[in-house]
């Protein structure tokens, strides 16, 4: 590889950094082995010319974009087949590609086959009997069939009991008759459903012997194996363009008297016998496990989004020069403006903390998962409550953080060649899918209010809410001394008090004669506030515990930087919720000023290592895909390269001049 | 017109509203006359089949989108020519179309000719001599030439003295020689510059007799009048796709020894004589006036964005049913969930308050404008400071508000057919253009710190900052009693104290030996915070004063609703800055709880009139352009209509199946 020519301002930042970015890169990747794996996968996929875009997706029409996405998805699938033939574990590789940074780099607007791998195959594995798995999995693994997972409907999402699609068992033919009886019953949103998949797991309300039995999943063939034409009774297509993920081919599906044989209902948990007798499932806890798994993955994804956005903004801030601080001096790197640091650096610290929180809850999930399999459900509600609020907080903060980074790059952040618009689109989507954020917060809050009552009754609470016991004992938080430990403790005290207020609101409304449910609805402002603080207290505690522990295992140089990251994260988090702190803890105006000065001091101390820190996220240039954020910092060169790809610039005069503009200009002459 | 069939849930809302929406519509439009004008323009433009989209822009490639935008821009221009021939004032009509809701409805991704009307023509009017105006304006008004305004460069935006494009006067030929000497000197961003305009006003650093003279504007021909080919020395094209405004044809421009005659420099304010003698401008106050004018318009635009987004979200919230509050009851309208009200209703109140603030500052600007023309500059700094922070606050809050509305519609808000993605793109752009928001806040803050010093020295301050005098006298804010008046006063007290803290920070750093400029940079956190509160205090005061006054002029039924709007706005604004309130004013935990309960009470009281209130914004269905927000509330029907327009759905099997998917699925068999 030829020596890389780097923008001198950026090179200067690298030369003066006080730690070795690679040390943190290895930690970030999860150890030396994973770091090497990551590098190998990047080489294999990101440097394959067949998978490189000639035309940026933003210039394509929606139809072209879909066709190109499918082309690349097939190429990737074929590559993984070869890997598997060479003895590598293909599905794991594919999962890594889809979930991680590689997936977004290869298929920036999403993969029309991803639901096949992340929902269709796992659902058959989780909910199919052994016979069903033997029948369907080989075909699915080999991609002889491409499936998707159809649950959400046009009129129904969060509230599953509201789904309208129904499956009536006809014992005379031993078939289910599946229908979407109304417009709002149409399946809506499944990825790949539009024109890609030929099979789906369809979730429907099950009726046997004329009685309602609850939801059940059915394997339904959507399209002919050879012609790909929709099967009889199937009305299917693409739902149209979206804020992002335009290549995913999200689809709609209407079913009219579609008949599937008895053994197409996935029957591991519940059964229908040939005569229509229904055998109910033993417990439905397992699906909670799957939801938690997905939310843990999403928390990691939000960290990744922030890492990307803050890398781009930081490198650009080192290269861009603007507006003298001292009118006698030349224009400085914009990173020297305190207001610029205030935008970008907290996003770096959040990327790191969200990643660590993601790893922590991932480990907790794995422990829980083992317990669940042994029938031990004790920690499930606690973990569910935690995963819900963290999914909401991390996705909301990451989305806001990406936009702050974009705006920090001025007009250039608005150009698609910055990649910010695409990163935002992917990040903000997480606020809605896999549990809408407000619904998530309310689920957490319901748990908090419940355990608050238990704590009042003298019960000792489980670890992640034990701070509520302490706060009830403490009553008042004294001696807030601005140490990091004190901020963490204060976060917990504030969180406990937000839960107290929510609890009191519900109790008050119950005393006024409202049912618990109505009281909870009326207290929505208080409930979501409590859940928000619960998650933030966990993030503060985790950041403190984990970053302190990590600092002891790394070089003193890196440890020093991580200490600043931790301090910045905590001080910024505290100031962002300062209203809650002041509400429950004695603070003077001067204390707040001191905290704000401390924030500025953190920014100043992070300044010399900001570039090295984002370098250590080790994001491949194709992952960043940004003219503003490339490793070489040659921002303006890359922007110039981008305009050469613009199809409008292929001709000096666009035909619309002759067709529209010239006649208009001359019309009145 | 046939009776409109309306979704019954939405109709029920309209039937039970307690006021007449049209009464507020007329106020909103600016009186009966303007209301009628608006309706007439809408009929003329929005109901013209030639200007309706067959294919939604989101399905087009960037190139197709540009060509279609230019087609429509020419049609609109032609229509206005006809109006003018019929005795209507065409340019005013065009300006109304561009600035208001009509423009966005007709050209959703922006108009490639807008800079011709809003910058090229006005610049010649404002900066050209009488001779120059006589020469250029008729051609420009008749669209024989299409111009743009080229100031910002690839490497330079905010800091005008940093611009690199230079114009050297050559007295031997009486010409200027214009060059963009580096890559970063390329003009970047001007609308229509890419392939549309054939002329531009180019801003360059002027050199005559070898000496630097400052910035000057030059009329430069970009393209051949007949062939539209770029003129010699002109390197020109489109800068590429963006987060929004993809039809605007923002361009880049390099100039290499481009010669323009002496009389192509606009010389109303400064002159170059034939021998190269430079005559400096008398004062540069006039350009301040233009910037203020634009920012006043932008404040109104942000109100309009919020009106659109909150209309869509409110109607959808009335139609969509989801998640029972009481498990025994059916799924309610989601508008009955308190958390949904908490998202959407504050955006309605902000739309109204921003609109009123926009009108107020518009009136102040008109007074100022008259004063400026008479050489009275007294109120300029005050007004400049106010316009800057309001532009920043309103654009930031409106952008956030649009996203809250989008997210409140769940997955459906993510679809382009909701129109939220486009509304967000247009709204967030305002955060960056015409003065980047942080730069705006710092300009306001500089003024605040200055007048704070004057107030400390005993000076009586001008009206919009007079609250600082009071706060210094008052020292402590006592008897905060939660009345609306008290919230307004408290906002001012808090704002004054934020300015005090910023002032003290700068003074402290100066005492530590920093220059004022460096001290200001280090105090960025404090300065932007002070400017933010200054703007919010103005908004609170204006909302209170104006809405109270309006309430006295309207029917009691409407007055009652506006009182709730005002209360909701103020309580929400206060809770959003509760940290600042608690910092400077004595408040107990119970006081905050009371405010939060009051917020909930405002939401509950607004609930019955929410639909009528957004109806009264009177936004044409084409302006909303949203399947979720149409007046008839037939959300699901409109979504179904939208999928029929999707080009992917024209064929049951996409050709990519045969090209890529089938070979992949069968490859290993």
Residue B324: closest C-alpha in chain A: A159
Tell me the angle at which helices A484-511 and A556-576 cross, rounded to the nearest 10 degrees: 30
Query: CB-based contact (8 Å) between B661 and chain A?
Result: yes
- What residues in B contact A339, CB-CB < 8 Å? 438, 442, 524-525, 528
Two structure tokens written together for A551 = 């600092």
The count of CB pairs under 8 A between chains A and B is 383
Q: Is the pLDDT of residue B412 over 60?
A: yes
pLDDT band at B54 (very low <50, low <70, confident <90, very high): confident
Does A152 show up as a binding residue in the annotation? yes
Q: What is the pLDDT of residues A492-510, one digit of tens each?
A: 999 999 999 999 999 999 9
Q: Do B238 and A517 touch (CB under 8 A)?
A: no
Say which range, A95-109, A434-448, A601-615, has the weakest mean pLDDT.
Answer: A95-109
B224 touches chain A (CB under 8 A): no
| Domain contains A598 | yes
| Binding-site positions of B for FAD | 152, 191
> Cα dist. A585→A451, A478, B442 in Å?
23, 8, 32
- Contact criterion met (CB < 8 Å) for A665 and B146: yes
Least confident of B179-188, B248-257, B659-668: B659-668
Answer yes or no: is pLDDT of B522 > 90.
yes
Over range B135-158, report the average pLDDT. 95
Cα dist from B159 to A322, B544, B599, whole Å: 7, 37, 43
* In a shared domain, residues B366 and B479: yes
Q: Are residues A295 and A277 in the same domain?
A: no
Determine the pLDDT at residue B93.
Answer: 66
E strands, A222-351, are 234-238, 251-255, 258-261, 271-272, 278-279
Note whether B102 and B623 are within 8 A (CB).
Answer: yes
Which pLDDT belongs to residue B514? Answer: 97
Cα of B597 to nearest chain A Cα, Å: 9
Give chain B positions within 8 Å (CB) of A416: 240-243
Backbone angles phi, psi at B271, to 5 degrees: -130, 150
**With 90 as the cut, is the pLDDT of residue A88 above it?**
no
Reduce the DSSP state of residue B147 to 3 states and report it.
strand
* Same domain, residue pair A48 and A124: no
User: Confidence band (pLDDT; 50, 70, 90) for A444?
Assistant: very high
| Distance between first and last Cα of chain A | 61
Q: Give the end of a domain, one of B589, B615, B641.
A: B615
Q: Is A338 on the interface with B (CB under 8 A)?
A: yes
CB proximity A148 to B under 8 Å: no
**B222 contacts chain A (CB < 8 A):** no
Q: Are residues A276 and A306 in the same domain?
A: no
Q: For B370-387, what is the mean pLDDT?
A: 89
Q: Is the pLDDT of residue B96 over 90?
A: no
Given an 8 Å threshold on Cβ–Cβ distance, is A81 in contact with B143? no
Same domain, B276 and B291: no
* Number of separate domains in chain A: 3
Which of B326, B342, B666 comes nearest A525 by C-beta?
B342
ipTM above 0.85, yes or no: yes
Q: Is residue B7 part of a domain?
A: no
> What's the CA angle centered on B345, arms B341 and B347, to 5 degrees?
135
Say which of A70, A417, A524 has its CB closest to residue B339: A524
Cβ of B337 and A145 within 8 Å?
Answer: no
Give the mean pLDDT of B172-189: 98
Nearest of B312, B310, B330 to residue B321 by alpha carbon = B330
Residues B276 and B292 in one domain: no
Residues 472-501 (A) with a CB less than 8 A from some CB of B: 497, 501
- For a pLDDT cut of 70, what percent of chain B falls above it? 97
CB contact under 8 A, A62 and B646: yes
**DSSP structural state of residue B223:** B
- Same structural domain, B77 and B216: no
Q: Which residue has the tokens 């609850």?
A: A214
The residue among B489, B523, B530 whose CA lies nearest residue B389 is: B530
Asked whether the CA dihedral A484, A489, A492, A496 is positive or negative, the reply is negative
Task: Look at the alpha carbons of B539, B542, B547, B550 in this order and tell me if their dihedral is positive or negative.
Answer: negative
Taking all residues of chain B, what is their mean pLDDT, rounded to a whole number?
Answer: 94
Is A31 annotated for ligand binding?
Answer: no
Assess if residue A177 is contained within a domain: yes
Which has the higher per-residue pLDDT, B425 or A85?
B425
Over residues B352-373, mean pLDDT: 92
Tokens of B18: 């307690």
Q: Tell me which of B648, B649, B654 to substitute to probe the interface with A (most A C-beta atoms closer than 10 Å).
A: B648
Per-residue pLDDT reduced to its tens digit, A4-50: 799 999 999 999 999 999 999 999 999 999 999 899 889 999 999 99
Check if the beta carbon of residue B191 is closer than 8 Å to that of residue B249. yes
| B654 lies within 8 A of chain A by CB | yes
Instruction: Name every chain A residue with its beta carbon within 8 A of the beta carbon of B327.
Output: 517
Confidence bin at B1 (pLDDT 50/70/90): very low
B268 and B319 within one domain: no
Q: What pLDDT was estimated at residue B80?
A: 85
B429 lies in a domain? yes
Greater model confidence, A480 or A140: A140
**pLDDT exceeds cutoff 70 at B90:** no
Q: How far is A71 from chain B (nearest CA, A)?
A: 6
With pLDDT > 70 as the criterion, what percentage of chain A qualifies? 97
CB contact under 8 A, A243 and B421: yes
| pLDDT reported for residue B89 | 61
Cβ contact B528–A339 (<8 Å): yes
B275 shares its domain with B330: no
pLDDT in tens, A560-584: 999 999 999 999 999 999 999 999 9
Please check whether residue B194 lies inside any domain of the structure. yes
CA angle at residue A174 from A169 to A177, to 5 degrees?
40
Given a cut of 70, whether residue A540 has pLDDT beyond it is yes
Chain B CB within 8 Å of residue A655 CB: yes
State mean pLDDT over B380-391. Answer: 95
Cβ-nearest to A647 among B63, B230, B662: B63
In whole angstroms, what is the distance from residue B76 CA to residue A144 CA?
A: 53
Write the CATH number for A580.
1.20.140.10
Asked if B261 and B319 sit in the same domain, the reply is: no
Residue A307 half-sphere exposure toward CB, CA atoms < 13 A = 28
| pLDDT tens by residue, A623-640 | 999 999 999 999 999 999
3-state helix, strand, coil in chain B (%, to 5): 60, 10, 30
Q: One of B23, B67, B371, B434 is an active-site residue; which one?
A: B434
Choose the closest CB to B664 out of A143, A431, A596. A143
Chain A CB within 8 Å of residue B143 CB: yes
Query: How many Cβ atoms are within 10 Å of B141's Cβ, its own excluded?
Result: 13
The answer as to whether A64 is a domain residue is yes
> Which of these, B58, B648, B627, lies nearest to A194 by C-alpha position?
B648
Give the integer Cα–Cα distance in Å for A177 and A175: 6
pLDDT of residue B97: 67
Whether residue B643 is contained in a domain is answered as no
Give the mean model confidence (pLDDT) for residues B105-114.
93
How is residue A387 annotated by DSSP?
H
pLDDT in tens, B502-511: 999 999 999 9
- Catalytic residue numbers of A read 434
B339–A438 CB contact, under 8 Å = yes
Q: What is the pLDDT of residue B94?
A: 67
Is the Cβ of A111 closer than 8 Å to some Cβ of chain B? no
Buried/exposed B242-262: b ≥16 CB within 10 Å, e otherwise: bbbbbbbbbbbbbbeebebeb
Based on the domain organization, do B302 and B378 belong to the same domain?
yes
Q: Each residue of B6-28: pLDDT tens digit?
A: 999 999 999 999 999 999 999 99
Last residue of a domain, one of A85, A111, A137: A111
Alpha helices in A457-483 (DSSP H): 466-474
A451-477 mean pLDDT: 95
Whether B326 sits inside 8 A of A77 (CB atoms) is no
Interchain CB distance below 8 Å, A237 and B649: yes
A415 and A537 in a single domain? The answer is yes
Is A184 at the interface with chain B, CB within 8 A?
yes
- Contact check, Cβ <8 Å, A584/B584: no
CA–CA distances in Å: residue A146 to residues A107, A224, B47, B58, B664: 18, 12, 45, 28, 11
Q: Residue A356: what pLDDT?
A: 97
Closest CA to A360 of A308, A299, A282: A299
Residues β-bridged to residue A212: A207
B residues 369-408 closer than 8 Å to A (CB): 403, 407
Please give the helix or strand (H or E) that residue B227 lies within, else none: none
DSSP-derived secondary structure letter, B2: P
Alpha helix stretches (DSSP H) within B374-465: 380-408, 420-429, 437-456
User: Among A76, A111, A146, which residue terminates a domain?
Assistant: A111
Inter-chain contact A521–B659, Cβ cutoff 8 Å? no
Residue B659 to residue A159, Cβ atoms within 8 A = no
Residue B284: what pLDDT? 62
Note the pLDDT tens digit of each residue in A65-76: 999 999 999 999
Cβ–Cβ contact A421 with B under 8 A: yes
| Bridge partners (DSSP) listed for residue B178 | B167, B258
Tell if the CB–CB gap between A229 and B324 is shorter than 8 Å. Answer: no
C-alpha distances out from residue B398 to A18, B349, B419, B577, Å: 41, 11, 15, 16
Contacts of A64 in chain B (CB under 8 A): 61
Per DSSP, A666 falls in state H
Cβ of residue A508 closer than 8 Å to a chain B Cβ = no
Mean pLDDT of A397-416: 98
The answer to whether B662 faces chain A, any CB pair under 8 Å, is yes
Using CB atoms, which residue from B60, B338, B522 is nearest to A521?
A: B338
What mean pLDDT is reported for chain A? 94
Please say whether the beta carbons of B305 and B427 come within 8 A.
yes
pTM score above 0.95: yes
Structural domain contains residue A12: no
Chain B residues closer than 8 Å to A518 by CB: 325-326
The parent domain of residue A122 ranges over 118-282
Contacts of B230 in chain A (CB under 8 A): 652
The first and second tokens of residue A544, run together, are 């403190």
B92-99: which pairs have CB atoms within 8 A and are 24 or more residues apart?
B93/B41, B96/B41, B97/B41, B97/B45, B99/B297, B99/B301
What DSSP string describes A543-593?
A: HHHHHHHHHHHS-HHHHHHHHHHHHHHHHHHHHHTHHHHHHHB---HHHHH
Does residue B12 come out as left (phi exceeding 0), alpha (psi in the -120 to 50 range) or beta? alpha
pLDDT band for position A653 (cuts 50, 70, 90): very high
């Amino acid at each position: 590889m030829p020596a890389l020519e780097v923008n001198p301002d950026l090179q200067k930042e690298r030369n003066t950094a006080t730690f070795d970015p690679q040390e943190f890169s290895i930690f970030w990747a999860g150890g030396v082995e994973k770091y090497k794996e990551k590098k190998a996968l990047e080489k294999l996929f990101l440097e394959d010319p067949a998978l490189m875009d000639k035309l940026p997706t933003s210039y394509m029409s929606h139809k072209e974009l879909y066709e190109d996405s499918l082309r690349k998805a097939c190429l990737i699938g074929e590559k993984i087949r070869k890997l598997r033939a060479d003895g590598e574990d293909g599905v794991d590789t594919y999962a890594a590609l889809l979930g991680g940074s590689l997936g977004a780099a290869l298929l920036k607007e999403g993969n029309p086959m991803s639901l096949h791998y992340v929902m269709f195959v796992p659902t058959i594995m989780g909910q199919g009997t052994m016979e069903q798995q033997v029948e369907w999995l080989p075909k699915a693994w080999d991609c002889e069939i491409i499936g998707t997972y159809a649950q959400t409907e046009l009129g129904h999402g969060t509230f599953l009991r509201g789904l309208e699609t129904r499956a009536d068992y006809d014992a005379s033919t031993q078939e289910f008759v599946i229908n979407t009886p109304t417009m709002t019953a149409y399946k809506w949103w499944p990825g790949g459903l539009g024109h890609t998949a030929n099979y789906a797991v369809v979730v429907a309300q099950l009726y046997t012997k004329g009685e309602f039995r609850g939801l059940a999943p059915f394997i339904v063939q959507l399209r002919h194996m050879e012609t790909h034409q929709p099967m009889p009774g199937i009305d299917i297509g693409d739902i149209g363009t979206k804020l992002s993920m335009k290549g995913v081919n999200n689809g709609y599906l209407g079913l009219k008297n579609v008949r599937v044989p008895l053994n197409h209902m996935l029957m591991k948990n519940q059964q229908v016998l040939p005569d229509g007798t229904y055998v109910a499932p033993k417990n439905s806890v397992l699906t909670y496990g799957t939801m938690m798994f997905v939310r843990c993955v999403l928390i990691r994804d939000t960290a990744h989004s922030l890492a990307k956005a803050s890398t781009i903004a930081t490198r650009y801030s080192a290269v861009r020069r603007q507006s003298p601080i001292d009118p006698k001096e030349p224009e400085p790197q914009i990173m020297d403006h305190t207001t610029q640091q205030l935008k970008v650096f907290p996003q770096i610290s959040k990327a790191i903390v969200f990643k660590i929180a993601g790893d922590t809850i991932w480990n907790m999930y794995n422990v829980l998962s083992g317990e669940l399999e042994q029938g031990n459900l004790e920690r499930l509600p606690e973990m569910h409550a935690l995963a819900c609020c963290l999914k909401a907080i991390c996705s909301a903060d990451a989305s806001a953080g990406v936009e702050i980074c974009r705006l920090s790059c001025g007009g250039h952040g608005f150009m698609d060649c910055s990649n910010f618009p695409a990163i935002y689109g992917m990040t903000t989507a997480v606020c809605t899918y896999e549990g809408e954020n407000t619904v998530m917060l309310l689920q957490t809050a319901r748990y908090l209010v419940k355990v608050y009552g238990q704590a009042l009754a003298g019960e000792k609470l489980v670890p992640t809410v034990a701070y509520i016991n302490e706060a009830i004992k403490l009553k008042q938080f004294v001696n807030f001394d601005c140490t990091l430990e004190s901020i963490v403790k204060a976060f917990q005290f504030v969180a406990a008090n937000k839960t107290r207020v929510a609890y009191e609101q519900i109790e008050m409304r119950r005393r006024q004669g409202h049912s618990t449910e109505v009281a909870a609805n009326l207290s929505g402002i208080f409930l979501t506030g409590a859940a928000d603080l619960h998650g933030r207290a966990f993030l503060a505690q985790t950041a403190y515990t984990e970053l302190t522990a990590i600092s002891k295992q790394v070089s003193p140089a890196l440890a020093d930087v991580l200490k600043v990251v931790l301090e910045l994260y905590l001080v910024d988090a505290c100031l962002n919720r300062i209203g809650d702190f002041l509400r429950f803890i004695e603070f003077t105006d001067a204390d707040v000023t001191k905290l704000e000065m401390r924030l500025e001091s953190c920014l100043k101390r992070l300044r010399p290592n900001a570039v090295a820190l984002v370098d250590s996220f080790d994001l491949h240039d194709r992952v960043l895909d940004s003219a503003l954020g490339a490793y070489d910092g040659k921002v303006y060169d890359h922007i110039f390269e981008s305009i050469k790809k613009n199809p409008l610039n292929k001709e000096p005069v666009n035909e619309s001049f002759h067709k529209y503009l010239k006649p208009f200009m001359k019309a009145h002459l």
